[in-house]
Amino acid sequence: MILITGAAGFIGSNVLRALNKSGVSDIAICDSFGSTEKWKNIIDCEFSEFIFPGDLFQWILGKPDLKAVIHLGAKSDTTSSNADEVLKSNFNYTSQLWDHCVKHSILFIYASSSSTYGDGSCGFNDCDNSESLSQLLPLSLYSWSKHTFDRKICRQKERGLESKTSWYGLKFFNVYGPGETHKGRMQSSINNICKQILEGNEVILFKSQCENFADGEQARDYIHIKDVCKIILWFLFKIPSSGIYNIGTGNATSFNRIVQIAKKHLDRNVEIKYQSLPPDLINQYQHFTQANINKLINSGYLTPFTPIESGISSYIDYLINNSKCPPASKRLAKI
């Protein structure tokens, strides 16, 4: 049996679907829905058991057949200021799962984040030793909570406490694609830009706060969700060397470039306007991210990534077919 936490979220729901397509159905999922429509993310998926987050540790004690945990559940709002809640979810909860997996030699995959690299001044190298990790200074409470667990697990690695457990800490860069709509403000910038164009509005981008980047030339390493799923299943079934891995493409794309790709696909002309960063983002904004993926490649992952042009184009078509956005056409919508 495989356990997925955060299974109805953006990455979790797509991983669940990918496992189903690979023939795996003995899957337990853990998440909470409340009164949202997040359940629709898994409406076409198959699973064996559903567990509420508060019941997980009681449930897991009675599952000797559990082979792997894919831990994607977290407090993922990067602007959250409630440190107690964020640490309870992203550090304590993750630590409890980790301790159980180490004790019972259960494969453990967990979500870290590229935001742990802070302003990028130390580079984007997925080293998993205590000395390298101690140099990183995350810019937000969310990224710090992820970073603290990365540091904990690597200290244990150096002491040999996890030698019988295969584990993978995945530093996700900017993931985009179907299934992220419920994330609200935390949706990818690709999603936000494409929706603005589809709705016929001007495109609003943030002004640069760094002299090294012109307005709109801030750049991110974007990776399509289907590539993320392929990588996670590769870790699950191939079991390479344990450690922290960057999950990106190794290529950065600017906001202005995203607008140009979307405009070309839709044959639309829109005006770009630049506005100042919201106050709550000024001190935690990353102007540039680009994963060093040598470790992933050298471990044997050689599957090509989705090119940004085709990824954005296919995502636009998905948004058109699954929303009330106006359809793509050859008509120019000048603003």
When computed from its CA atoms, the radius of gyration of the chain, rounded to whole angstroms, is: 20
Residue for token pair 């799962």: 97
Instruction: Give 187-246 as a DSSP string.
Output: S-HHHHHHHHHHTTPPEEEEPPSSTTS-TT--EE-EEEHHHHHHHHHHHHHH----EEEE
Catalytic residue among 93, 110, 117, 142: 142
Cα–Cα dist 162/184, whole Å: 37
Pair type for strands 107-113 and 167-172: parallel
Catalytic residue among 40, 183, 207, 226: 183
Q: List beta partners, residue 109.
A: 70, 168
Which of 329, 310, 333 has the alpha carbon at shortest distance from 197?
333
- Asked whether the beta carbons of 241 and 167 are under 8 A apart, the reply is no
Pair type for strands 27-30 and 174-176: unpaired
Please state, as a whole number, how many other Cβ atoms lie within 10 Å of the Cβ of residue 323.
12
Is 183 a residue of the active site?
yes
Cα–Cα dist 254/211, whole Å: 15
User: Is 254 exposed, middle or buried (CB count within 10 Å of its CB: 0-12, 13-18, 19+)?
Assistant: middle
Is 207 a residue of the active site?
no
Residue for token pair 């040598």: 294
The whole-angstrom distance between residue 271's C-alpha and the CA centroid of its chain comes to 29
Handedness of CA 100, 13, 313, 113 (dihedral sign): negative
Active site residues: 142, 183
